[in-house]
Amino acid sequence: AQSVTQLDSQVPVFEEAPVELRCNYSSSVSVYLFWYVQYPNQGLQLLLKYLSGSTLVESINGFEAEFNKSQTSFHLRKPSVHISDTAEYFCAVRLNTGGFKTIFGAGTRLFVKA
Amino acid sequence: NAGVTQTPKFRVLKTGQSMTLLCAQDMNHEYMYWYRQDPGMGLRLIHYSVGEGTTAKGEVPDGYNVSRLKKQNFLLGLESAAPSQTSVYFCASSRTGASQETQYFGPGTRLLVL
């Protein structure tokens, strides 16, 4: 069975500081990895995903995540956060042959302070 | 192009009452999903549909029923609400059920069962 662990439930950070949101997964077979963002009172939006190829994937708003197979991690990073990045971030995995069934982590609430 | 919409946005029910949550998508997607989101937990799949006229059970289907009479709509019903069903409900859709496919989420329905 697959599982996803997001190591921090809340991450407070000052504006313009760097941030890392940690995600570890467990799976005996190959997986696809996703990060979703949920802004207050909104649904989840796909931020970025790793399917294959380069282990470093980037989003359009400056976030990046690196797939580390040996450490079974997919940490999300941003070098300089903005107030508008305040949101909840969910890491998720799917078996690469398992269709749409998705295992979500419990979420990390990022709070950016001025 | 509205994407995925959900009605209502918020509802309060008394134990034993019934209600239907409506999800609509205008992207001509085949697959639709209902998830629930509870504090400290990731999203969990309640039911899903792989096309018009089809439904199937997800991870936590007990106490819920669904219908997909039209391709664009996916209804979630609670026949006799219980306090344990207090949650935020998200509908999502995807073009196919492939592992790499992006799921698009609605804004959610907050349900409080007293």
Q: How far apart are CA A25 and CA B91, in angstroms?
A: 25
Q: Does A30 touch chain B (CB under 8 A)?
A: no
Give percent of chain B with pLDDT exceeding 90.
Answer: 90
Q: How far apart are CA B97 and CA A98, in angstroms?
A: 9
Q: How far apart are CA A88 and CA A9, in angstroms?
A: 9
Chain A environment of B107 (Cβ under 8 Å): 41-43
The pLDDT value recorded for residue B45 is 95
The amino acid occupying position B34 is W
Given a cut of 70, whether residue B1 has pLDDT beyond it is no
The pLDDT value recorded for residue B112 is 97
Read off the pLDDT of residues B42-81 as tens digits, 9 standing for 90 and up: 899 999 999 999 999 999 999 999 999 999 999 999 999 9
Q: Does B88 touch chain A (CB under 8 A)?
A: no
CB atoms within 10 A of CB A33: 23
The pLDDT value recorded for residue A60 is 83
Closest CA to B24 of B85, B99, B92, B110: B92
SS3 (DSSP) at B8: coil
- The mean pLDDT value of chain B amounts to 94
The pLDDT value recorded for residue A83 is 96
Closest CA to A33 of A7, A19, A52, A61: A52
Cβ distance of A100 and B98 shorter than 8 Å: yes
Q: How far apart are CA B99 and CA A87, in angstroms?
A: 26
Chain A neighbours among B 20-79 (CB < 8 Å)? 31, 33, 40-45, 48
Given a cut of 90, whether residue B34 has pLDDT beyond it is yes
Cβ distance of B97 and A4 shorter than 8 Å: no
Q: Does A54 touch chain B (CB under 8 A)?
A: no
Q: How far apart are CA B27 and CA B19, in angstroms?
A: 26
User: Which of the residues in chain A have pLDDT under 50?
Assistant: none
How many interchain CB pairs under 8 A, A with B? 59
Read off the pLDDT of residues B71-86 as tens digits, 9 standing for 90 and up: 999 999 999 999 999 9
The pLDDT value recorded for residue A110 is 97
The pLDDT value recorded for residue A30 is 86
Q: How far apart are CA A99 and CA A69, in angstroms?
A: 21
The alpha carbon of residue B79 is apart from the nearest alpha carbon of chain A, in Å, by 25
Q: Does A87 touch chain B (CB under 8 A)?
A: no
Cβ distance of B105 and A45 shorter than 8 Å: yes
Query: A67-102 burial, b for 16+ CB within 10 Å, e for fewer?
Result: beeeebbbbbebeebeeebbbbbbbbbbbbebebbb
The pLDDT value recorded for residue B49 is 97
The amino acid occupying position B40 is G
Best mutation target among A102, A103, A108 (most B Cβ atoms within 10 Å) is A102
